[in-house]
Amino acid sequence: VTSDSGKQTNLHENIFTYRKEAQVRPVVAFGSTLYGTSAMNKTVKTLQEQGYSMVAGINGSFFDRSTGIPYGIVVTNSILRSGGSANAVGFLADGSALIGDPVVAVTLDYGADTPLLLNYNKAMTTQNGVLLYSQDYDTRTKNTIEGYHVIVRPVGSRAAELRLGQTLTVEVVGMVEDTKSCSIPDDGFLLAVANDTAYKSALTALKSMVMGQQMTIQVTCASGWENVTSAAGGGDMLVENGQVCTDFTLDSAKKMAARTAIGVTRDGSLILYTCDEAGNSDGLTLAQLAERMLALGCQTALNLDGGGSTAAGVTYPGYASGATANVPSDGKLRECANFIFLVRQKQDAGTASKLYLYPFGGYALPGAKLTMTVKAADSSYMAAAVPTNVTFGGTNVTQTSGSTVTVEPGAR
């Protein structure tokens, strides 16, 4: 790679290419709540509890380091978990992807001439108007400034869930005044606004609500996004309509840094990409990242959180658990707001159909020996037992056990 100054630099990158298939699909996942961050391996365990196993994964949304709250939207299992106005990547049930601005808006029709615009599952400030919370955020709001709160619950048998392109009727069941950290009901929502809000009319609107009052929450979005089953917000667009983008807003756009990106090729394949700024790798600028995503065939591509957040995990063929594939800038993987995974349904392994030798490569001093381990996978790349009748041979190659091979100098 050539830097902006013309200097030749090194680059370590991980590229996962996904083509739509029934057994594997992309999903977005986060920890138990939006508030706080989660390690990739812990998030994988959450997926495993839901009956999935990881094929590969990368980190997702930009987020507030103090709260862990993602800046853009989050959708999992077709449920909107957090709002936001950033560009995003969304996945449909068949594994195809959308990248762009989902134009998601959450509004509350409470009987006035103009509905209230709601910030869904975000931290309270004096500048962001009316907040709406569910327990996807946490059990409490954990805000640092006092606010006025209205407790609402869905009318009838509807669950306390928001979905893109749908409406939900709720009823006022309580109010809580002058509280920083307010409890969020597990069967409803919490409306909130700062006491010192810059939007005094919004505070007046919430204080005018009465017990038993029914209101409608509406979630609108750009066409096609109402069908996404999972989504995560990102940052600057890197490639649009097969052309690299050049107008970047990220403060580190011109810096060589670790990067994470996602793109869609002309044939609909999904590209999950990371590069490192650690070890023997110098990272990329956003302009270089855009060129790289275009070179990989992306017609559309989105920048995701990078730097110390950059993470790439993979379950190598023949292994039952995942491993870190990149070299983290912080020396270890950072806990993040959410992750984008390629997953498959957990199942019992079938008969071995492919064999793999590990490590992929190695170095040895003259006269030394390398020991390589044999792993097996079934036709779905699930770890399988190594057949007992497998034999290995070659010049200076010794099979020391059923699954171990020793390679001596001069081996072929």
* pLDDT for residue 393 is more than 80: no
Query: Residue 1 pLDDT > 70, yes or no?
Result: no
Pairing state between β 130-133 and 116-120: parallel
For residue 172, what are the CA distances in angstroms to 106, 156, 180?
A: 18, 13, 20
Tokens 């939207």 -> residue: 73
Separation between Cα atoms, residue 177 and residue 149, nearest integer Å:
6
- Structure token pair of residue 30: 């986060």
Distance CA 62, CA 306 (A): 8
Q: How confident is the model at residue 33 (pLDDT cuts 50, 70, 90)?
A: very high
Confidence grade of residue 364 (pLDDT, cut at 50, 70, 90):
confident
389 class by beta-carbon count within 10 Å (0-12 exposed, 13-18 middle, 19+ buried): exposed
The residue-averaged pLDDT of 381-394 equals: 80
Task: Please report, rounded to a whole number, the percentage of residues in the chain having pLDDT higher than 90.
Answer: 80
Mean pLDDT of 400-409: 68
Give yes or no for residue 262 having a pLDDT over 90: yes
Q: How many CB atoms lie within 10 A of CB 22?
A: 9
Contact predicate 56/315, CB 8 Å: yes
pLDDT band at 58 (very low <50, low <70, confident <90, very high): very high
CA distance linking residue 224 with residue 244, whole number of Å: 24
pLDDT tens-digit profile of 302-345?
999 999 999 999 999 899 889 999 999 999 999 999 999 999 98
pLDDT band at 23 (very low <50, low <70, confident <90, very high): confident
378 and 319 in contact (C-beta within 8 Å)? no
pLDDT over 70 at 410, yes or no: no
Which pLDDT belongs to residue 292? 98
Report the pLDDT value the prediction gives residue 412, as an integer from 0 to 100.
Answer: 58
Instruction: Using pLDDT thresholds of 50, 70 and 90, give the confidence band for residue 109.
Output: very high
Mean pLDDT across 282-297: 98
- As given in the structure block, the two tokens for residue 148 are 């006025």
Tell me if the bond preceding 154 is cis, omega within 30° of 0.
no
Angle at 105 between CA 100 and CA 108, to 5 degrees: 170
- Cα 16 off chain centre by: 15
pLDDT of residue 85: 92
Mean pLDDT within 112-141:
97
Average pLDDT, the chain: 93
Question: Pairing state of beta strands 130-133 and 105-109?
Answer: unpaired
Confidence of residue 353 (pLDDT cuts 50, 70, 90): confident
- Rg of the chain on CA atoms, in Å: 25
Q: What is the per-residue pLDDT for 391?
A: 76
Residue 400: pLDDT over 90: no
Greater confidence, 229 or 5?
Answer: 229
Banded pLDDT at 251 (limits 50, 70, 90): very high
The sign of the dihedral angle between the CA atoms of 380, 384, 386, 388 is: negative
Segment 107-125 shows an average pLDDT of 97
Q: Are 53 and 344 in contact (CB under 8 A)?
A: yes
pLDDT interval class at 34 (50, 70, 90): very high
What is the reported pTM?
0.92
pLDDT of residue 336: 98
pLDDT of residue 404: 74
